[in-house]
């Protein structure tokens, strides 16, 4: 079955950087949509950015454009989220998510478009 495991969270001062990783296993099809989401206490889960593993550009929420970058290493089945210029408002639990195999990012950054989720990793910016 499909598993997603995030790592790389931590505490950082405002203006700092972190890189999150998400290792994916269990897919029989190498093309699917992968996204990063976050959820702060008392708030709904929101999309940060996503990319179609079969090719194409990544896309981002307005709140992180120009600061966050998604990349992927297909050989390692790993998705990354490079976060620069972190702000206290970025404090949240970050989740990676993956969509149905063979489908693109038809849901954009809507949570309903993603079938599989990691356990989350905490990012705290002070």
List, for residues 48-95, the tens digit of each pLDDT value.
Answer: 999 998 887 899 999 999 999 999 998 899 999 999 999 999 999 999
- CA-to-CA distance for 70 and 82, rounded, in angstroms? 6
- What the block records as the tokens of 91 is 């404090």
* Predicted local confidence at residue 12, as pLDDT: 98
From 31, 19, 38, 81, select the one nearest 56 (Cα to Cα). 31
Helix, strand, or coil here: 89? Answer: helix
| pLDDT at position 116 | 95
As a whole number, mean pLDDT of residues 103-125 equals 95
Q: How confident is the model at residue 31, as a pLDDT?
A: 86
Most confident segment among 27-41, 84-98, 99-113? 84-98
Rounded to whole angstroms, how far apart are CA atoms 87 and 13?
Answer: 8
């Amino acid at each position: 079955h499909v598993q997603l495991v995030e790592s790389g969270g931590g505490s950082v001062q405002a203006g700092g950087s972190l890189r999150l990783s998400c290792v994916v296993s269990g897919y029989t099809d190498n093309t699917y949509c992968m996204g990063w989401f976050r959820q702060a206490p008392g708030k709904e889960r929101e999309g940060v950015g996503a990319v179609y593993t079969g090719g194409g550009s990544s896309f981002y929420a307005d709140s992180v454009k120009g600061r966050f970058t998604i990349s992927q290493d297909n050989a390692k089945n790993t998705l990354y989220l490079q976060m620069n210029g972190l702000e206290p408002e970025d404090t949240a639990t970050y989740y990676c998510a993956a969509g149905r195999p063979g489908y693109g990012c038809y849901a954009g950054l809507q949570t309903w478009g993603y079938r599989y989720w990691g356990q989350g990793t905490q990012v705290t910016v002070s």
